[in-house]
Structure 1
Amino acid sequence: MVTVALLGTDRRTPPGHPTGAGAPTALLDAAAVQTVRRRAGLRPAPAAALPGRAADDTRPPLPAPARSRLAMLLTDRPGTAGGRRGTAPDLMELLPQWLAMANEQGHAAPPELLPALLDAARGRTDLRPQALTFAGPRALWLARLNPDWKFALRSTPGGGTALPALESAADVQRLWEEGLFAERVALLSAVRAHSPAAARELLATTWSTERAEDRLMFLDSLRMGLADADEPFLEQALADRSRNVRATAAELLSALPGSALAARMASRAASCVAVDRTQSAATITVEAPHECDAGMERDGVVAKPPTGRGERSWWLGQLVESTPLGHWTVRLGGRTPEEIVALPVADDWQGELHAAWCRAAVRQRDAVWSRALLGAPASPDAGGPGAVSLSERAKLLGALPGAERAEWVAGFIATHGLSEAFQLLGVCAQPWAGPLGRAVVDALNIARDAGSYPWSFSGVMGLAERCLDPAEAARLEGLTATPDEPEDAAPGAGGYWSEAFQRLVSTLRLRRAMRDELKGT
């Protein structure tokens, strides 16, 4: 029959059937009979065991309107025609916010929507933490049955394996010695959260036999609850045969201002940076290291610089960023951080020195030094280039309280506009505080009045859709109308701006509705 089908019934007839118009039908009939014969003659295989029952999710169910909203967010995918987004909200960008709010309320995911939720998280790694938290234990049950959702097992510490009671030392030790790597990482993190000392002692029992890549992962778990008691273990890790392990141990020790490594780094940095009092105005002088000796390498200094970097400046930066910031007040004449940052630096070393101080302030979470290095948002240097880049300023803002962070960025936007503010807006808490939201809207309004197209501000507009307080929708209503275009305006720019503000308003209203639905109001 296969041969007949391949050659065609005009060239070969089915067995036992004459040539003619009925040959194709006879071939199909013969195939149908053969199929029935094969199925009837198949011996049944033993039935496979049914999967175990999924764990119960004891969280309260979603209110009905919120469940309908989630279904809409997971199924609707508004496209864009001709590059124009139109006035409809971007539902895919609202899904992360919906998940965050649902997790804050502590709701359980509707079982019937779990497959669509896992499919969405499969395609977007940024969704996974919130999606898996919302999906709960049933997501792991499903992931064990569908290879497409295996990411849920990889994303869950220990692959969803239940950990032993931390009070049972024997069970903990057994899993630590016999468990899979993911289970051991999850166990170490859980023990560290429960008892930092117990986690450190557990790690020490097998440290010398672990692989280098495993030692690096285990060592990274000590960031949680890092304290002076960890110093002896970390000092020992400085002699590790893996360069990455040594570097991580040095980074952790430098975050302990009272550690011996921090003192050694401060001593080295002190020989490189000083105040020259022979001039009329105090000036910082820099003499970068001339070599990277074995002691520096043991303390985590990387000897070989990246391409394009000089060796001496590379070594200097590593010494300064690993030095406790409080050292500089004593070293530089009792000056405050603001006074130190304001001092001129000789021989064009200011950029390198200030960048290293920025890294130290971020690593040590020092708000005082972060404020000093940021400076006033209205200063000319704040808009760049200046001694501190915008990316470094964004990191420094992370060390400040949320309200102060928003106030600084609002002042920056009021002075320098939106063209350089995107990185800074990304580190501000959501929803944006009132002054920051108003500063962004005012700057967008100024850009609209200038008559240019809104495309260069699409990133900021997208952030505004996600981060503006939904209460701002009423105030923005007046900006949705198409403005009168000045003579030098780009053709049609007013219409594009009107669409952008209409989309912003509709998105804010939808976010408010989402919040009310989740609260059941």
Structure 2
Amino acid sequence: MSGGSGEEWGELVAAALLGAERRRPPGGSVRALLDKAAAETVRRRAGARPAVPGRRPVPAPEDTRTPLPAAAERRLAALLVDRAGGAGQTGSAGRRTAGPDLGELLPQWLAEANAQGYRAPAALLPALLDAARARTDLRAETLAFAGPRALWLARYNPDWKFALRDGVRQQLPDEEPEAVDKLWQEGLFAERMALLSAVRRRDPAAGLRLLASTWRTERAEDRLMFLDALRQGLGPADEPFLERALSDRSRTVRATAAELLATLPDSALAARMAERARSCVALDRVGGTGIVVEAPHECDADMQRDGVMAKPPAGRGERAWWLSQIVEATPLGVWQERLGGLSPERIVALPVADGWRDDLHAAWCGAAVRQGNAEWARALIGEPTEPFAQGPGDPAKLLSVLPEEERGAWAARFIAAHGLSEAFRILGVCGVPWPVPLGRAVVDALEIAREAGSYPWSFSGVMGLAERCLDPSDAERLAPLAAVPGEREGESPGAGAYWAESFQRLVATLRLRSAMLAELREHDGSSQAEGDGTDRAEHDADRPRGT
């Protein structure tokens, strides 16, 4: 191509951008300009060198799971389109509109689709991967639903590299130890982290051997993350490795090792902590029934090696800080032996001398959560008669230790006693859908708040939870609440309309969830036949050649 061609092309482009009114086009007219541009375009393309052909990609792997019913596939497409905004989002005045927030229903849809064993439609894989990229809470369910074809597709788009990383957890090569070792030795940190988690889940001892093989050469920040992965399948066989980690150069690594050892009730560290705790807490033999506390007066080197942090946080006394860490790391079974064989409920009821009650009970709360001890959690949480601020521990964390049905019943009683102002964290740890007593307690509290003339905007968080967590069968029972009430004296302007919109959205969302679950649970012949043509063609298109 001649050197003048580039200059001529530039003149044509400039004339086209400026327009014939501002610059005389080459050839004197717009028609002549277009003719010259067409001819020059052909000449430029003729002078381009052909691209080197690349290798054809390997065909996508086959996914033999059941295809989605057609109605469920359409629903998924709507959820994915709406995930970044839509009917359930805010209107022009900043208020949420009366339509359901479809994007927030995607986690439930994915969970149900996986429970039913469906495979993802090929056409929706890109949108699914985009959704999982934007929301980490969707990744596990999305990758399970999308299956091996999502990992195949992710190799061609760097935006979806998270799928390759997280996919190691699902596709660990069982018969290729050399491949596992190679990935551990040469992989990126995220790949190695995923690999260690996968190996630990399948074979905890093999995972420990993998970590021990390179432990001395790992960076401190990597050692910390790898050590945390040992929570998966943690057992007595991990104790020798964790004991050695107590002497690590990194303070955070030492603290994590101590925390893991404290969850093993028969570990040497648990025994050392129990011995320290016994010297700090005892029954009051002089003043009658009760507990006396003598907190440590120093934090010696042995205590620090076992994970006791010497410097307390701002506003916390040193002795109280040291005591709480020791008690929290002590096996809870120690206290029944130490305190006269009493049950946890009776121990918690004992008076504690000299103002140490809240510190001691808060440490027991931490131990109950760390050790997953439902009996102690039940004793410490008690009846829901006190607001959060008056208790020593976080009821939401203690609730998470209790069985799901018991959690819902306790939360229902809490809301009946205190309303919704402090219930958001409690509701967040209850199972979905909420049991009937909890759902009724939440709706009753919302009605009471509306009738009392409360500001409706302060309950938007609870209302959002109710949309996702109430049993869908409650929709018709709640429908009368969606009516717009008349304005009352002293009520916030527009409050009645806002309450009506909130209940309208709640009812609409429950109805949508009911339809959504019905579509996914539809296994009759008519539903399957409707999707068979498209799904079978899609299935055949994904087969490798010759199959």
- TM-score normalised per structure 1: 0.90
Match of 2:104 among 84, 90, 93: 93
* Number of residue pairs aligned between Structure 1 and Structure 2: 507
Match of 2:426 among 424, 427, 433: 424
1:146-170 Cα deviation digits (max 9, x unpaired):
2222232233336x8x53325x656
Equivalent residue, structure 1, for 2:115: 104
Equivalent residue, structure 2, for 1:384: 388
Superposition map of 1:91-170 within 5 A: 91-157=102-168, 163-166=172-175
Alpha-carbon spacing, 1:201–1:494, altered in 2? closer, same or farther (3 Å): same
Superposition map of 1:286-365 within 5 A: 286-365=293-372
> Is residue 165–residue 171 contact of structure 1 (8 Å, CA) maintained in 2?
no
Partner SS state of residue 85, structure 1:
coil
1:67-103 Cα deviation digits (max 9, x unpaired):
1111111224224322232321111111121111111
Alpha-carbon spacing, 1:322–1:13, altered in 2? closer, same or farther (3 Å): same
- Structure 2 segments unaligned to the other structure (5+ residues): 1-7, 524-547
Q: Greater shift after overlay, 6-15 or 337-346?
A: 6-15
Quote the Cα distance in structure 1 between the aligned partners of 2:166 and 2:473: 36
Equivalent residue, structure 1, for 2:399: 397
1:222 aligns with 2:230: yes
Match of 1:212 among 211, 215, 220: 220
Code of the aligned partner of 1:163: L
Partner SS state of residue 491, structure 1:
coil
1:52 aligns with 2:58: yes
> Is residue 80–residue 128 contact of structure 2 (8 Å, CA) maintained in 1?
yes
Alpha-carbon spacing, 1:343–1:509, altered in 2? closer, same or farther (3 Å): same
> Is residue 165–residue 191 contact of structure 2 (8 Å, CA) maintained in 1?
no
Quote the Cα distance in structure 2 between the aligned partners of 1:138 and 1:179: 22
Equivalent residue, structure 2, for 1:411: 413
Equivalent residue, structure 2, for 1:190: 198
Partner SS state of residue 472, structure 1:
helix
Quote the Cα distance in structure 2 between the aligned partners of 1:100 and 1:293: 50
Equivalent residue, structure 1, for 2:75: 69
1:301-320 Cα deviation digits (max 9, x unpaired):
22233334333322222111
Equivalent residue, structure 2, for 1:440: 442
1:106-154 Cα deviation digits (max 9, x unpaired):
1111111112222222322322222222111222222221222223223
Quote the Cα distance in structure 2 between the aligned partners of 1:97 and 1:11: 60
> Is residue 143–residue 150 contact of structure 2 (8 Å, CA) maintained in 1?
yes
Partner SS state of residue 49, structure 1:
coil
Match of 1:266 among 254, 274, 283: 274
Match of 1:36 among 42, 46, 50: 42
Equivalent residue, structure 1, for 2:468: 466
> Is residue 188–residue 199 contact of structure 1 (8 Å, CA) maintained in 2?
yes
> Is residue 4–residue 12 contact of structure 1 (8 Å, CA) maintained in 2?
no
Structural RMSD (CA): 2.5
> Is residue 453–residue 496 contact of structure 1 (8 Å, CA) maintained in 2?
no
Q: Greater shift after overlay, 199-208 or 462-471?
A: 199-208
Quote the Cα distance in structure 1 between the aligned partners of 2:130 and 2:345: 51
Report deviation, 1:441: 1.0
Report deviation, 1:229: 2.4
Code of the aligned partner of 2:173: P
> Is residue 350–residue 387 contact of structure 1 (8 Å, CA) maintained in 2?
no
Code of the aligned partner of 2:282: A
Quote the Cα distance in structure 2 between the aligned partners of 1:14 and 1:328: 95
Quote the Cα distance in structure 2 between the aligned partners of 1:302 and 1:359: 16
Q: Greater shift after overlay, 424-433 or 131-140?
A: 131-140
Superposition map of 1:428-507 within 5 A: 428-507=430-509
Partner SS state of residue 206, structure 2:
helix
Code of the aligned partner of 1:42: A
Code of the aligned partner of 2:228: D
Report deviation, 1:404: 0.6
Aligned-pair identity in percent equals 66
Alpha-carbon spacing, 1:92–1:418, altered in 2? closer, same or farther (3 Å): same
> Is residue 55–residue 137 contact of structure 1 (8 Å, CA) maintained in 2?
yes
Q: Which structure is higher in RCO with an 8 Å CA cutoff and minimum separation 6?
A: 2
Partner SS state of residue 283, structure 2:
strand
Match of 2:256 among 221, 229, 248: 248
Report deviation, 1:393: 0.8
Report deviation, 1:26: 4.8
- TM-score normalised per structure 2: 0.86
Alpha-carbon spacing, 1:84–1:176, altered in 2? closer, same or farther (3 Å): closer
- Structure 1 segments unaligned to the other structure (5+ residues): none
Alpha-carbon spacing, 1:305–1:14, altered in 2? closer, same or farther (3 Å): same
Alpha-carbon spacing, 1:261–1:176, altered in 2? closer, same or farther (3 Å): same
Quote the Cα distance in structure 2 between the aligned partners of 1:497 and 1:12: 63
> Is residue 305–residue 311 contact of structure 1 (8 Å, CA) maintained in 2?
yes
Code of the aligned partner of 1:405: R
Report deviation, 1:409: 0.4
